């Protein structure tokens, strides 16, 4: 599985101190079917713990997810900042998921070269 973060999410994660290991853990849980919320259309919500705390009061991440293929972290928020995403935001994420499913390797490389996407290295897959 290939795991990516977009520019917005990378800034959010850096600002909140969310490391790659936490993101990889969220994807690994999803791969095992442990979804916090399946929002439909290839969009899932996964919780990520704050450092030294549990996941329930931590962060919520929106991931464009296709099992066995890819995961794109596209949005995140602290549970203390907002309750959830809006219906319009969900609609937009579903449209984005549909668009991202059509990305071929050339389009992914272009996004990586332009730094609108970054790929996370999942060392567990190399074992």
* Residue linked to tokens 């995403």: 85
Among left, alpha and beta (phi > 0; psi -120 to 50; other), residue 106 is alpha
What pLDDT, on a 0 to 100 scale, did the predictor assign at position 65? 96
Residues 33 and 43: their CA atoms lie apart, in Å, by 14
pLDDT of residue 28: 95
119 - beta bridge partners?
4
The CA distance from 30 to 46, in Å, is: 8
Q: Report pLDDT digits (tens) over 60-113.
A: 999 999 988 999 999 999 988 998 999 999 999 999 999 998 899 999 999 999
pTM of whole model > 0.85?
yes
The owner of tokens 């567990």 is: 124
Q: Which pair of tokens denotes residue 121?
A: 């290295």
């Amino acid at each position: 599985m290939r795991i990516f973060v977009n520019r917005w999410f990378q800034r959010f994660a850096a600002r909140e101190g969310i490391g790659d290991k936490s993101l990889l853990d969220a994807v690994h849980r999803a791969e095992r079917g442990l979804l916090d919320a399946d929002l439909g259309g290839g969009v899932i919500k996964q919780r990520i713990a704050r450092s030294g705390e549990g996941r329930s009061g931590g962060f919520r991440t929106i991931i464009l997810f296709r099992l066995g293929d890819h995961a794109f972290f596209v949005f995140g928020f602290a549970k203390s900042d907002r309750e959830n995403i809006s219906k319009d935001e969900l609609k937009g994420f579903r449209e984005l998921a549909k668009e991202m499913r059509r990305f071929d390797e050339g389009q992914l490389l272009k996004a990586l070269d332009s730094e609108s996407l970054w790929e996370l290295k999942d060392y567990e897959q190399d074992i």
